Amino acid sequence: MNPLAEPLPGGSVARRRALLAGTGLALSGVLGAWDGSAQAAPSEVPAAVQAALARFATLATDTSGALVRTHAWPDASASVGWRAAHGADRTLFIGSATKTFMLAQFLRATEAAQAPLSAAAPCAIDDGVRSPGSPVFEALTGRTAYRNVLEAMMTHSDNTATDAVLAAVGPDAVRALIAQADLASVHIPDSTRKLFSCLAGAPSGTDLGWEGMQRLARGQDMGLTPLTDLMSAPQRMTGSADDMVRWYAGALAGRWFAQADTLREFRRIHAMADALALVVPAGLAAYGKGGSIDWEGFHALSVPGQMVVGRRAATFCFTLNWRGGADSVQRVPEFVAAVAPVLQATADALGA
């Protein structure tokens, strides 16, 4: 299975396979800048990183975004590094990469002892939360510990697990965390099933239910007109590279957690995301979550996160949106081939 993608209900493979763009132009968008969080002069962006990031930008110059920021580890504000960016302020579709916020809010709720939430508490898996794109739980019914549900959501991007987590904490609580972190570009849906329902043409907030998802998967006519502009859809999964890097730099340093054990669990589960092995150099600790979508000719691939090199770290986000042509599954090798050299050059520079 593509670690950056999960199947969507309904339509042809080319239309709905996954869930949840000239070197000269790209070079002009690759900048070294001071992050502003540390009181020191900025470091120069290594030439190899600049060149690799410029190549990434050629995938879709106007509809891609990328940012790599280096800093001390684990405290991202302890010392200044360098910042290499291309279109980092663009709000783009990042799909399941937004699930990091759902995990964070669940763990915060367990800190606050909001009964009955805990990693060990039982979670019901049934048609009430069942959603397409669920390689772990789609065909299973019963009860399991929330810890298993959180891991399925982050490691395999299981959408049934995601909707179970959102049902437990509430999407508005997740949005409150996003607002508290001042991440204006980040949007999450009420649930993945409500996302699919909205994209299929149902009014925002409508849940077509598991039966409706199955009807969409069979291509049955439900009298709905699918949306084609995902970026303005009321239910969406978006974020900028700037905001995703700011989120991971703070969250992985413990900014949003009160207890060391919570941060440890947040890091542990993020380290399980299978997209990381595709882009991060072997042997490095890394944390993150990928995402993707293919819908009515619109496509997206995204991978934000952080990698650690000794006592330094690089927090990153790479996102690609495009219309028409090959779908996200087909473009994963090209995407990986563009992202991995940026992170390899970054690791080489940090380890020098």
* Residue spans of beta strands (DSSP E) within 4-96: 31-32, 64-72, 80-86, 92-93
pLDDT above 80: residue 30: no
pLDDT of residue 114: 63
pLDDT of residue 209: 98
Closest C-alpha among 156, 193, 189 to residue 6 = 156
pLDDT above 90: residue 105: yes
Helix or strand run (H / E) with residue 307: strand 298-309
pTM, to two decimals: 0.90
What string of DSSP letters covers 257-288? Answer: -SSHHHHHHHHHHHTT-TTHHHHSPTT-EEEE
Distance CA 87, CA 190 (A): 28
Q: Is 172 exposed, middle or buried (0-12, 13-18, 19+ CB in 10 A)?
A: exposed
Mean pLDDT value across the chain: 89
**Averaged pLDDT, 101-105:** 98
Closest C-alpha among 138, 196, 140, 190 to residue 165 = 190
Cis amide leading into 189 (omega within 30):
no
Task: Decide which of 304 and 29 is more confident.
Answer: 304
Task: Decide which of 27 and 309 is more confident.
Answer: 309
**Averaged pLDDT, 26-33:** 34
Determine the CATH number of domain 13-351.
Answer: 3.40.710.10
pLDDT of residue 243: 99
* Segment among 4-18, 124-138, 239-253, 337-351 with least mean pLDDT: 4-18
- pLDDT above 90 covers a percentage of the chain that reads 83
pLDDT band at 9; cut points 50, 70, 90? low
**Averaged pLDDT, 97-107:** 98
pLDDT band at 4; cut points 50, 70, 90? low
pLDDT above 50: residue 39: no
pLDDT above 80: residue 288: yes
**Averaged pLDDT, 312-329:** 98
Token reading at 352: 């020098």
pLDDT band at 352; cut points 50, 70, 90? low
Q: Which residues lie closer than 8 Å to 115 by C-beta, 6 or more apart?
A: none
Total H helices, total E strands in the chain: 13, 11
325 forms beta bridges with: none
pLDDT tens digits, one per residue of 70-91: 999 988 888 879 999 999 999 9
Please identify which residue in the block is written with the tokens 């019914």: 141
pLDDT band at 25; cut points 50, 70, 90? very low
pLDDT above 70: residue 96: yes
pLDDT tens digits, one per residue of 194-247: 999 999 999 999 999 999 999 999 999 999 999 999 999 999 999 999 999 999
pLDDT above 90: residue 116: no
pLDDT of residue 115: 56
pLDDT above 70: residue 11: no
Contact 247, 183 (CB under 8 A): yes
